[in-house]
Structure 1
Amino acid sequence: MAVIAFEKLEYLESGNERQQHAYATLKKYEVFNLLAAYDPILVGTVPIDIDIPGSDLDIICCAADLLQFEAYLIQNFSSMPAFTFKRLGARSAVVGRFMLDGWAVEIWCQDLPTTQQLGYRHMLVEYELLERFGPAFRQQVRALKLQGYKTEPAFASVMGLSGDPYEELLNLNYK
């Protein structure tokens, strides 16, 4: 199985056309440079090549002080088109959204190391499944996503998993 350093963006540079466009966009606007102090990682469908039209660029970050991160987010990204932000739960996460060169970008920050956040953990399991089961499996997942399925439920459906798809995927944890 190919190993990808998802913590760095450079793997996108040699990826498919959409991955290369995502890489160029994130570099052009220095998004990861601006977020460097918060251990950003691009997660979701684009890194593992199961994105569909309309998929966004999901970036996870870690900050011990979410109010400070919120201020930083507003200071550095509020001038971006369609900028919005919200707090989720009892200050358990801060989420910012905006548009860059045709991409919806979502920055999700928690007081939890990025490699321990669910978005990252799900992506690793999904990547391992895609590598293990090959192109036909990838196409089945993508077909369900095109029908409106969210990523984890699409994987669970193709694999015949029952129960909560988010939990079931983590239970597979091939690492």
Structure 2
Amino acid sequence: MFESIKYLQKGNQKRAYQAISELDIMKHLAAYNPILCGTLPIGIDIACSDLDIIMEVDEFERFEEQVRELYGNQQNFKVKKLHIRENPVIKANFWFSGFEFELFGQALPVKEQNAYLHMVIEDAVMKRHPSIKKEVIELKEKGWKTEPAFCKVLQLEEGDPYKELINYGKNTGFI
């Protein structure tokens, strides 16, 4: 469902579509199976939401060279290699056309990455319980991150909200 960004061509997401298209990220980085994840694809973005594009990256050095060559001249460009939940990841961040971009890579198929799974779960929750959307957006506007906001609304407030949301998705059959 989220493999293409064509769904962004309508409504308030059109600016994001234009920015991603102008940079031609999906084409330039197609070898990494890029998917736009996060709040924008599921319509819970707020003014400060960034554009998270996740990818399957096995060779961090090659990926870093490529993104530096393609986007290194963009405002506030930086690359970090770190570990998230004991998994090595690489992130490139920059600003373009009023959006902060985060290109996120790890050696895992994109549809198995937590960012994708969280988005699928959050989308399914809002389809089943449409009233939740407003509550989540209100929490996000107060500074909450997306996953903790969903956990609060769903009353899953014990433990790590990122893990809790995955468990909730498995228990409900959303993933």
- Fold in common (TM above 0.5): yes
**C-alpha distance in 1 between matches for 2:66 and 2:23:** 16
Q: Which structure has the highest strand share of the two?
A: 2
Q: CA deviation at 1:10?
A: 0.8
Identity of aligned pairs, percent? 37
**C-alpha distance in 1 between matches for 2:115 and 2:165:** 12
CA deviation string 1:58-105 (max 9, x = no partner): 000112211111111111110111111111138811100111110000
In structure 2, runs of 5+ residues without a counterpart are none
Query: What is the letter of the counterpart of residue 11 of structure 1?
Result: Y
In structure 1, runs of 5+ residues without a counterpart are none
Alignment of 1:39-78 (within 5 A): 39-78=33-72
**C-alpha distance in 1 between matches for 2:132 and 2:55:** 30
Alignment of 1:1-175 (within 5 A): 5-14=1-10, 16-17=11-12, 19-89=13-83, 92-134=88-130, 136-163=131-158, 164-173=160-169, 174-175=174-175
**C-alpha distance in 2 between matches for 1:131 and 1:73:** 35
Q: CA deviation at 1:167?
A: 1.2
The CA RMSD over aligned residues, in Å, is 1.3
Assess if the C-alpha contact under 8 Å between 1:161 and 1:168 holds in 2.
Answer: yes
Assess if the C-alpha contact under 8 Å between 1:66 and 1:111 holds in 2.
Answer: no
Q: CA deviation at 1:171?
A: 1.1
Deviating above 4 A after TM superposition, structure 1's stretches of 4 or more consecutive aligned residues are none
Q: TM-score, normalised by structure 1?
A: 0.92
Query: What is the letter of the counterpart of residue 138 of structure 2?
Result: A
